[in-house]
Chain A
Amino acid sequence: MPLLQSTPDPVAAALAARKPAPSKAHESGIDAEHARRSIIFETDISGGVFGKEWLVVENGHLYVFIPNGGGPAETRHALPISEIRAARAEMHIGNGSIEVDTADLTIPLVRFTYASAAEATLVARWIQALVAGDDIRDETVEPRKRLCARCGRVLPEGSDICRACIDARAVMLRLFRYLAPHKVPASLSVVVIIVSAVLELVPPWIGGRIVDAVVKSVRSASTDMSQIYYYVGIFAASRLGMSGAMYAQRRLNAYLGARVLMDIRVSIFERLSVLSCSYYDKRNTASVMSRITNDADHLWDFLTDGIPWFMSTLLAIIGTSTVLFSMNAPLAALLLAPGVFVFLLNRWFQPRAKRRWQQVWHRISKMYAALGTTLTGIRVVKAFAQEERERERFRERNVNVFRASYEANALWATYWPILGFIMASGYLILWSYGGYLVIHRVMTVGALTAFGGYLMRFYTPFQEFSRVIDWSTRSLTAAERVFEVLDTEPEVRGAPEPVTPTVWRGAVEFDKVGFSYDGATRVLDDFSLSVRPGEMIGLVGHSGAGKTTLINILCRFYDVSDGAIRIDGVDLRDLDMEGFRHRLGIVPQEPFLFPGTIRDNIAYANPGASVEAVMEAAKAANCHEFVLKFPDGYDTQVGERGQRLSGGERQRISIARAILHDPLILILDEATASVDTQTEQLIQEAIQRLIANRTTFAIAHRLSTLRNADRLVVMEHGKMVELGSHDELMEIDGVYAGLVKIQTEVNKLRAV
């Protein structure tokens, strides 16, 4: 961590050399004061190469120390804070630097790599705050490289689970808990697996008995078939039993696996729907989705194939070895040797094969990507006559795929002959030593035949066991990732005793509100505003000024970091959320339509609304006409494969949805950003009808759309800089007036 809590020895020594030692009596008090006010920043570039330097702020001074062998650090800079005019962190390529300006000089203090960039920015801001005489805010930075507390390995992105430190037993137990509601099929499944493992042992044994019976009959010149029929009968019964068991096992596993998976998927989704927006900010949608898709699929494999396979293989090994060792222990022991070699061969081979195949898949996906890009851009390719080059490029990718897949497949060419030879060597041992035993009357011919029958069954588990480690790690990781989601607590929680205002009127009060998404950068600072019921507030400012953040915390997608938001006098955090959201309406910048009919979409928040109400809302939102023109009218399917709607049409449906919802507080987030002027007119009219008698917050880049606002809030860098009506703000001739002038110029240009 570049921000140190304690002073490194060379720095402490250098500091001590600079000032007389404080008297013992005051030491503790001074230390406490220092600890609060001092900054120690350790960089990772020194003299143009990797190395440590320290930037220290203490006692109203800023120092830069550089290491000096093992002794006290050398002081490169020592500046009183009072001489500094400004401080900043400048980012370059692969590194950055903290610079300060004095009255007549710009001094580069220290350099750092991206590893410490976030901390360096914070340090620069702190110095700036000290220069301005402000207090240092107690902020921390989330490190990009997070280490496992137990083993020190790097943790995977967006997860706190170290794959090396998974408590396998706990995870397995928890997974098995999902089987608890299905006790009957689960125990049935175990019984069936045991039965089929036992039945599997029967055929080779019967084979041996038949051979013995035949040999005996031939010797005694008897033609009695009864004993042979008897054994054939047992054989047929056991095969039938095995088929029955297999049938039962497959059905039970299919049911259990799918059922447990369903339970898990449902519980993941339930948890995901409860989690706050901040959970989704830290992760991309694809990675969240993969919890439900990929990870759950790995669990499915594990539950339907993995566990039963593991159990039956284990039983097969125990069963076969028991039978073989009881028939003839020395021969069985000798036959174990090739089994060990099979195991070792697979231990060597599996990881190599896996790596090569990963390379093949990676190259294939690159080839597909190239293909996709070229075909999408085929017009450009043809227009610039670059077909030849694209052909060459595609060929090159294909050659790469060919090389990789040749190498991967060539590996099999080594594997199978070796495996075949090892397995065959089992028969060499069996026939030479087994033949010796038969000739010396220690064993019967039948027993030798039975051994032959068991041999392959004996070796297969050795071949597969090396796969188990790889496969169980993957399933356990998947299980852990799933459980991680299930264990995440939402950051925004409902109040334990929700309060409902006596009357919902729609008054909104921001009281010294501050907010930060990551705990480091403040995107909203000391924002206070009192909004009367029914008032329309326009939010103006550059992108990144904090307008959308203000909306996000008003909707309580996030909780404020400082201060409070009150709705009709009740703190948002104590408010009955369900009641509040029923009275809140949003027309987002990018209208979102769910798959379904137009009617379903307008009635999304009020599924019980009558068709007449839907049509009235649509009429008020200026959508009725275009909807009637569709062949399927309000029954038109929209969303993924439905009717393609223009941006303006989607926006008006979104407005109709808000009108039907009839909210007390309405939020318009850039509702007319992406439409042409004529459509904007239609949307504007719709909005006019929508905002009547509602407390409205509207964000807009086109200032003309805010002309009806009662008051405009001009924001810059998370702070309110101007507040007033259009006329008042034009009078001040400040930021707002400037923005209006620019837009008027641009509009003139457009008109030309």
Chain B
Amino acid sequence: MTLDPDIPIKTAPEARSPFDLLWLDPSVMTLRRIAGLTRLTLDGDRSWLRATPARAFPISDPDHYIGFLDGLGNDIGIVRDPSELDETSRQILAEDLEVRYFVPVVQRVVSVKLEFGTVYWKLETSRGPRDIVVRNMRDNLQELSAIRVLITDIEGNRYDFPDINTLDPESLGVILRHQ
């Protein structure tokens, strides 16, 4: 992902209209843990308690463009590249993102069984082993690209299959048949 250096970074909130995005400058912004909550401080004087990070592109570019919402769900601003934050802030951001996003990435399909239109998967994922049941694959399969799919199980949890071509032929068959 290339960042556009031509967009000026505005940090003076009073100078902008409520309809402009506020680009947060990582060099003047810190995240700290206060009483179990995350406090976002800008320029050393403005701060928000209970700041929540949200990825603008959780699927296509999860590591850039992290937006922040305050406790009431109002937009604070957005960071282009969080890797420029200080060490502690990066750590807190990583923890908060880990808690907010729980979409296991499938590493291996142990077994797959199709019975009466319901698919029973036994998976090894980035979040540990899990058995899931998917009813009506067609409606619960989301094609993100030619090789990547998201599958929603019967309980509403989503599972990321990053590259279906690395799957065993049987699993690949089940997915292709419903694409």
Contact = CB atoms under 8 A, between A and B. Distances in A.
A669 to B, nearest CB: 31
Interface residues of A, number: 32
Interface in A153-183: 153-154, 156-157, 163-164
Contact of B118 (A105, A111, A154): A154
B100 interface: yes
B100 A105 contact: no
23 contacts: A49-B127, A50-B125, A93-B100, A93-B101, A94-B102, A94-B103, A97-B99, A105-B35, A106-B36, A106-B37, A108-B36, A108-B99, A114-B156, A115-B156, A115-B157, A144-B155, A153-B118, A163-B116, A164-B115, A355-B177, A359-B176, A359-B177, A362-B179
Given A144-B154, A144-B156, A106 B35 contact: yes
Given A92-B99, A92-B100, A108-B99, A113 B177 contact: no
Interface in A2-28: none
Contacts of B101: 92-94
A154 B135 contact: yes
B10 interface: no
A164 B120 CA distance: 15
A49 B130 CA distance: 10
B92 interface: no
Contacts of A687: none
Interface string B100-122: 11111000000000011010100
Contact of A93 (B102, B128, B138): B102
A114 B104 CA distance: 13
Interface of A: 45, 48-51, 92-95, 97, 104-108, 111, 113-115, 117, 144-145, 153-154, 156-157, 163-164, 355, 358-359, 362
A154 B156 contact: no
A672 B166 CA distance: 58
Nearest to B176: A359
A108 B37 CA distance: 10
A105 B115 CA distance: 49
Given A94-B103, A105-B35, A154-B135, A48 B155 contact: no
Contacts of B45: none
B42 interface: no
Contacts of B176: 359
Contacts of A362: 138, 177-179
A11 B42 CA distance: 45
Interface string B149-161: 0000011111000
A107 B33 CA distance: 12
B55 to A, nearest CB: 9
Please report whether the interface of chain A is mostly helix, strand, loop or mixed according to DSSP.
mixed
In order of increasing CB-CB distance, the 6 nearest A-B pairs are A95-B102, A94-B102, A114-B156, A49-B128, A115-B155, A106-B36
Interface in B19-40: 35-37
Contacts of B136: 157
B58 A93 contact: yes
Contact of A164 (B102, B116, B125, B135): B116
A356 to B, nearest CB: 8
A376 B179 CA distance: 24
Number of contact residues on B: which range applies? 20 to 34
B98 interface: yes
A157 B128 CA distance: 28
A295 to B, nearest CB: 15
A135 to B, nearest CB: 29
A319 to B, nearest CB: 35
Interface in B121-179: 125, 127-130, 133, 135-136, 138, 154-158, 176-179
A50 B128 contact: yes
A728 to B, nearest CB: 32
B157 A154 contact: no
Contacts of A355: 177
A528 B100 CA distance: 42
A115 B153 CA distance: 9
Most chain B CB within a 10 A radius of its CB, from A108, A111, A115, A358: A115
Given A48-B98, A111-B99, A144-B155, A153 B115 contact: yes
Given A45-B127, A113-B155, A114-B155, 17 more contacts: A45-B102, A48-B98, A49-B127, A51-B128, A94-B103, A94-B158, A111-B99, A114-B157, A115-B157, A117-B156, A144-B155, A154-B118, A154-B120, A154-B135, A154-B154, A359-B176, A362-B178
A230 B179 CA distance: 64
A579 B20 CA distance: 61
Contacts of B120: 154
A157 B154 CA distance: 10
Contacts of B133: 145, 154
B35 A157 contact: no
B61 to A, nearest CB: 16
A48 B127 contact: yes
A708 B179 CA distance: 58
A92 B156 contact: no
B155 A145 contact: yes
A153 B119 CA distance: 11
Contacts of A154: 118, 120, 133, 135, 154
Contacts of A93: 58, 100-103
Contacts of B155: 113-115, 144-145
Given A156-B135, A157-B135, A355-B177, A113 B118 contact: no
B133 to A, nearest CB: 5
B31 to A, nearest CB: 16
Contacts of B58: 93
A117 B102 CA distance: 13
Nearest to B155: A115
